[in-house]
Amino acid sequence: MNKLKAVILAAGKGTRMNSDLPKVIHKCLGRPMVHYVIQACKDAGAGEVCVIVGYKGREVKDAIYDVVDYVEQKEQLGTGHAVKCAKDFIGTEGDTLVLCGDTPLITGKTLTELVEKHRKEANGVTVLSAILDDATGYGRIIRDAAGNFEKIIEHKDATEEERACKEVNSGMYIFNSEALSASLDLLSNDNAAGEYYLTDTIALIKKIGLKVSALPLTGDACDEIRGVNTIDQLEEAEQIMCHRED
């Protein structure tokens, strides 16, 4: 049985929430947002889960009642740097899911489908994507003429033609753990923000000849990739969750 781990990014403050509370522990239907992400990973078969904490890390740990490991990201140097902080946890065996702690609508069912596709195709990394009517602001999944994954391009860096693409990056992935560990060592922060981007690992993994693929969500399932950055978005997530339970 292939080992499956999960890394959840939960180090940010979330300034747009207009609150001193770390973003991921704002409550959605009475439970911290990050709880739902942890549960979805465990439902998909993750035997170990590591939460990366930073801003008010002690508060985040105190709010999480699930059994998880923790790693501290002392400086906020980008998503790639955050995952690199968990490199010892990731190791080189099996596969590792990487998600953000502010996506409470993700389900174990969808992550299970992602894991199954990744393993069936023997991919180096598989991206969870979504087909959106309005893709503004999201990184785009660019495919070649045959429909194969080519690259992820951020909205701000995309050409008009690339921006017309409706398939977006959810920021949720499953990596071959060995490939992820190796690519984290090669990450550079040579960009405008001076940050280490997790998406750069995908190009590195593709470059060494491993397969990269994306699983697109459509219709109502696209709600699962919604990140919560504001109180309004938190309320919308709660409404969607309530309808699920009806």
The catalytic residues are 16
Spatial separation of the C-alpha atoms in residues 129 and 169, rounded to whole Å: 5
Whose tokens are 């593709």? That residue is: 206
Which one, of 219, 221, 196, lies nearest residue 87 by Cα?
Answer: 196
Question: Alpha-carbon distance 178 to 29, whole Å?
Answer: 37
Q: Name residues whose C-beta falls within 8 Å of residue 205's C-beta, 6 or more positions apart in sequence.
A: 124, 125, 175, 176, 179, 180, 183, 212
> Tokens 């549960």 belong to which residue?
39
